[in-house]
Amino acid sequence: MLSKKDAVGSLEVANAMGVSCATASETLKKLYEKGMLRREPWRGVSLSERGIMEVNRILRNHRVFETYAYEVLSISLEDACECANRVELYLSEKIVDSMCRLLGHPKECPHKNSIPEGSSCCMEK
């Protein structure tokens, strides 16, 4: 994959390098910006069960995708993570589950962050 780093400003480069992986709060912020959450999550609003599921789904998308890109496609972890940031909201469950199965249902991404289980995926051993 082509790195876009040459084309972006130093701030974005710092972000891409320094932010190791999606965190729950970043994910919440993203959901809010997309209009998928009604309130500003960083103000200590407690999440509904659905909201928690949604955050888990996106963290799972991010981490399964980046693990797949890193391990199967041999993409650098930085690029894999950056790319995961772009697609995590849009991946379908079917695709993520397929990647998860192919990877043998990993428990952690390469950053050692835990990967949430898929609702119908990771039960099979």
Residues found near Zn ion in the complex (CB under 5 A)? 21, 100, 105, 109, 111, 113, 118, 121-122
d(CA 71, CA 68): 5
H helical segments located in the chain:
10-18, 24-33, 49-71, 77-87, 93-102
Q: Of 21 and 75, which CB lies nearer to Zn ion in the complex structure? A: 21
Residue 32 CB, nearest distance to Zn ion (Å)?
21
Q: Of 43 and 84, which CB lies nearer to Zn ion in the complex structure? A: 84
Q: Of 29 and 111, which CB lies nearer to Zn ion in the complex structure? A: 111
d(CA 62, CA 88): 5
Residue 111 CB, nearest distance to Zn ion (Å)?
3
Partner residues linked to 108 by β-bridges? 114
